[in-house]
Structure 1
Amino acid sequence: MTETVQETAYTRQLQRTLRHRHIHFIALGSAIGTGLFYGSSDAIGTAGPGVVFVYLLGGAVVYFMLRALGEMAVANPVAGSFAEYCRRYLGPWAGYITGWMYAFEMIIVCLADLTAVALYMRFWYPDTPGWVWVAVALVIVAAANLASTRWYGELEFWFTLVKVVAVVAMIAGGAAILVFNVDTGGQAGIDNLWNDGGLFPNGVTGVLGSLILVLFAFGGTETIGVTAGEARDHETTIPRAVNTVPMRILLFYVLAILVIVSVIPWRRITGDESPFVQIFSSLGVGWAATALNVVVITAALSAVNSDLYGAGRVVFGMAREHLAPAAFARLSSGGVPVTTVAAMLVVLVTGVALQLWSDTAADLFSSIAALATFATVFVWLMILLAHLAGRQGWFGQEPVDAASLRFRVPLWPFGQYFAVAVILLTFGTMFWLEEFRSALVAGVVFTVLMSALYPLTRRRRGPAGVESEGARGIKRTAD
């Protein structure tokens, strides 16, 4: 009887329950997080007002990466997404290390955001232990992720709606200050872009340093590809979601940052408070801090929600390919990889407990930004290389027939090589600038350690009934 139950759990398939609005808002929400609401101040301070152009550069990299991922996801909507594409086109080790690097990225970002929730709640409840709010946050996201994919999509929809309203309100308020010459008691004006040291007052070093912070803010956008395996109509929803990336970047990053550095002289954006708070304060909105606190808590919960989902699905797909422990290949009757999600929750609880116990929570978010960037751009690089390998037939494989593709990348192959070049520049910058070197070393050490464990996957055999192709881990009809 037990054996029959195990075989059922291992041979169940992911279910296509995510609707278009879920996919669209997951794509939208993945680009709007704490990296924008708070991290943007560090990027502005590093590069100066010209950071607007750095956001454009980073946005271009994200766009070409997502178009590559979208092309592969529409053609092959597999469980495990990009980890499976890397395995297929670059070899088993590439799929293995990409999947675990993504899981590593998601875990450390989740740790930062969960700890941030505890910090933000001190605004209202300074005497309440931080673990209480971490526990509440985990209960919310765990319930959504363990219940069903549909519930995850619903929760992310409403989280994203709050963030979008906040960004639009900030842009509208800042634009009103500039257009109607509102007296803010400061020095608002478009000339703030160049009247204090020029566009790039900190030179090349500032630009390159800000690039790392900017790419960190875009981390998580690759989750769009993971949703392909559970989208009701992936051939329509994924292209639509990916194609909205340029407009999202222009509106929610470039335009938002442009308004901020125009209204507030860049040297006054110190990071002591969010530039969003400074904008609202300039408008005389006394409850700005309270409103933003609600938004950043929502952003943090949204990030944990999406990261837990993405990491769980990728590790599940790897388990189906015997690149992760076989227990992670189990699915609940609702099509949720419960073992994987539960394991992620245990790691998060342990990590956050250690951080709160050691009383270093206040420094966690900023200290891991560079490390998260390493993991993020490493995954992006592997996605781009897998796409190039598939299209060009590297390693003796038959090239993908471009004419048969329903959703193709633009500017092929120049856009892909451009994105790869910028990512390699990012790695070089992390080595060159001392403040980022330790994160680079940590990322390399993680890669080496996980690679040392890779031979164990060759000995691993999946349970009866587990099929060898990740694409077979998806139920083709929606419930």
Structure 2
Amino acid sequence: MAKDENDKIDKDERLSANELTLVGLGAIIGAGFFLASSISILNAGPSVLLGFFFGALIMWQVFSALAEMSVAHPTSGSFRVYAEEALGHFFGYLSGWMYWVAGVLVMSSEVTASAIFTQWWFPNTSLWIFVAIYSLLIIGVNSLGVKDFGKIESFLAIIKVTALILFIVLGGLVFAGIFTEIKDIGIQNYFRHGGFFPNGFTGLFSSMMIILLSFGGVVVVGMTSSETEEPAYDIPQAIKRIVFTLLFLYITSLSLLLALVPWNQISTDASPFTLVFRLVNFPYAGSIMNFVILVAALSAMNAAMYAVTRVLASLAEAEEAPAILADKNEDGVPFYALLASSGGLVLAVIMSFLLPEKVYEYITSAAGFILFFNWIIILFSQLKYRPILEKKFRDNFKFKMKGYPYSTWATIIVIIAILLGSAQNFEQLVGLLGGIIIILILTVFYFILYSSVQIRDYL
């Protein structure tokens, strides 16, 4: 009887397909889309629509590769475990630590951004106070069980999705001339001011790195997928819902934005989405958009904290981090790994205040490079892991990535091209070099660790 009760409790603590979908949307739709989309628009012009469509296809491929492995072999270590089993110990170590470093840097930028957004309402309050409050809040949420985390992240995701739907509805009404008559609106704005490709294909290509950042949180879904009720059903369902929801929200909102506001009138000083609210004289437009962006930043930070904590615990289980980091509390949370990740967050936030603004932008762009380099490792893992799945996990091998192995190879080549193409932009070039340096440092530490283990075993 006790066993049945425990099983019931365990099942009650797991995520459903709907909750996994909302967690995924919460992790992916971050402040980057609401703010950084202006950078992509200025680089690519109206062709940014193709860029987001293409970015969604790339995400789908990475998502499908990760889902194939997650359905057949659900594990809290997710991509780190698959890389180790498919490519070897070094790649498992590298994948896990790369994601942890990148995740901590991303969290620090999100919490700093959250503090800046809040200071918009309270300009006389010191920035560090909001940084401390939001850091403690995210740590508190992640100290709860996965079910509570899923509920909170789902709630934040609903706010962001609702805001984008509201934007689409308002934009559609403005486009139809319901609120006010505005000259020079319509799809003709896609072809004015330099045409659909005002900066050529080079402009679109150079914007792809920033566009991919709008999909960067997809790996969090892999981390949570092991805690779903029925992985074989929930994960494929979540993939379809997340990809199609993102395509609708991103493409529709940007299509309306570019039809209502000429692309060359968009500024990087504020979210381009506030422009439509201003067109209709929507009351408290600034506060509403600021609140939505704040929620987006906190939600992305919350999901990132969940993922880096699980990755660090997985590294500890593989003896690639202190063993105590693998210990879990009664809610199944690796609490010491959470504290360690929080310590890294504090360090990164301090760096954000000490270093000049541009230097910190370089560091966060390096984090983006590391995240996408990890996508390449995930895809290579899937290439090598498919035969293992068919042999060892045949009964659970119920989801297969379409077009294997050609689709996997094609996605790898495209991501590599985008990473190399980012060197056209100076800030992204610095991020590229910074990411390479971080990978080299992690590699050196691996061989130091591996050598010390060999010496210990020999003695």
Question: 1:269-294, CA deviations, whole angstroms, 9 ceiling, x for partnerless residues?
Answer: 11122111111111211311100111
Selected match of 1:34 from 31, 36, 43: 31
Identify which of 283, 288, 291 aligns with 2:285.
Answer: 288
Contact 1:89 1:390 in 2 (8 A): yes
Could you tell me whether the CA contact under 8 Å between 1:186 and 1:264 is conserved in 2?
no
Question: Kindly tell me: are residues 448 and 369 of structure 1, through their superposed partners in 2, closer, same or farther at Cα, counting changes over 3 Å?
Answer: closer
**Unaligned 5+ runs, structure 2:** 1-9, 455-459
Partner Cα distance (1:231, 1:266) in 2: 42
SS of the equivalent of 2:46 reads: coil
Corresponding residue for 2:346?
349
Conserved? CA contact 1:391–1:401, under 8 Å: no
Residues 389 and 14 (structure 1), Cα distance of their counterparts in 2 relative to 1, 3 Å cut: farther
Q: CA deviation at 1:35?
A: 1.3
The yes-or-no answer on 1:439 pairing with 2:436 is no
Does residue 425 of structure 1 match 2:404?
A: no
Matches within 5 A, 1:61-140: 61-140=58-137
Deviation at 1:368, TM superposition (A): 4.5
Deviates more, 1:74-83 or 1:171-180: 171-180
Residue 312 (structure 2) pairs with residue 320 (structure 1): no
* Cα separation, partners in 2 of 1:138 and 1:316, compared to 1, 3 Å: same
Please, which of 296, 306, 324 is the counterpart of residue 299 of structure 1? 296
Give the Cα–Cα distance (whole angstroms) in 2 for the partners of residues 457 and 20 of structure 1: 40
Task: Say yes or no: does 1:267 pair with 2:264.
Answer: yes
Pair 447,355 (structure 1): closer, same or farther in 2 beyond 3 Å: same
Measure, in 2, the Cα distance between the counterparts of 1:135 and 1:228.
30
366 and 52 in structure 1: CA distance in 2 versus 1, 3 angstrom threshold: farther
TM-aligned CA distance change 1:419 to 1:440, over 3 Å: same
Higher alpha-carbon deviation: 184-193 or 364-373: 364-373
1:168-207 correspondence runs (5 A): 168-180=165-177, 182-183=179-180, 185=182, 187-207=184-204
TM-score, with normalisation over the residues of structure 2? 0.91
Amino acid at match of 1:110: M
The alpha carbon displacement at 1:190 in A equals 1.1
User: Retained in 2: the 8 A contact 1:391–1:400?
Assistant: no
1:28-85 per-residue CA deviation (whole Å, 9 max, x = no partner) reads 2222111111111111011001100011111101001101100100100012100000
1:276 pairs with one of 263, 273, 276: 273
Q: Is the 8 A contact 2:73 2:393 kept in 1?
A: no
Name the SS of the counterpart of 1:49 in structure 2.
helix
CA drift at 1:373: 2.3
Contact 1:402 1:408 in 2 (8 A): no
Instruction: Label 1:377 to 1:400 Cα distance change in 2 as closer, same or farther (>3 A).
Output: farther
Which deviations, in whole Å up to 9, do the C-alpha atoms of 1:287-334 show, x marking residues without a partner?
111001111111111011000000111121121111222221111122
Q: Distance in 2 between matches of 1:457 and 1:214?
A: 36
1:391 aligns with 2:386: yes
Contact kept? 2:22, 2:153, Cα under 8 Å: yes
SS of the residue 2:273 aligns to: helix
The answer to whether the Cα contact below 8 Å between 1:120 and 1:297 also exists between their aligned partners in 2 is yes
Instruction: Report SS of the residue matched to 2:76.
Output: coil
Q: Does the CA contact (< 8 Å) of 2:206 and 2:424 recur in 1?
A: no
Deviates more, 1:31-40 or 1:452-461: 452-461
Mapped to 2, the partners of 1:89 and 1:386 lie a distance apart of 5
Displacement of 1:102 in angstroms is 0.9
Query: Residues 297, 407 of structure 1: CA spacing in aligned structure 2 closer, same or farther, 3 A cutoff?
Result: same
Deviations 1:404-444 (A, max 9, x none): 62011122223212211111101221334433211111111
Partner in structure 2 of residue 452 of structure 1: 444
1:216/1:370 contact within 8 Å kept: no
In structure 2, the residue matched to 1:378 is: 373
Deviations 1:202-238 (Å, cap 9, x if unpaired)? 1122111110100111111111111122222222211
The residue matched to 2:138 in structure 1 has which SS?
helix
Identity of aligned residues (%): 28
Q: 1:161 aligns with which of 151, 158, 161?
A: 158
CA distance in 2 between partners of 1:135 and 1:336 (Å) = 22
* Unaligned runs of at least 5 residues, structure 1: 1-12, 462-479
8 A Cα contact 2:46 2:196, kept in partner: yes
- Partner Cα separation in structure 1 for residue 364 and residue 447 of structure 2: 31
8 Å contact from structure 2 (residues 80, 96) kept in 1: yes
Out of 167-176 and 433-442, give the one that drifted further.
433-442
Residue type matched to 1:455 in 2?
F
1:414 partner amino acid: Y
AA matched with 1:286: P
Alpha-carbon RMSD across the aligned residues, in angstroms, is 2.3
Which letter maps to 1:385? F
CA contact (8 A) 1:96 1:318 kept: yes
CA contact (8 A) 1:390 1:400 kept: no
Aligned to 1:473: none
Runs of 4+ in structure 1 displaced over 3 angstroms?
13-16, 180-186, 363-369, 397-404, 431-435, 456-461
Mapped partners of 1:430, 1:23: distance in 2: 32
Query: Structure 1 residues 186 and 355 mapped into 2: Cα distance closer, same or farther (>3 Å)?
Result: farther
Give the C-alpha shift of residue 399 in structure 1.
6.8
Length, aligned pairs only: 444
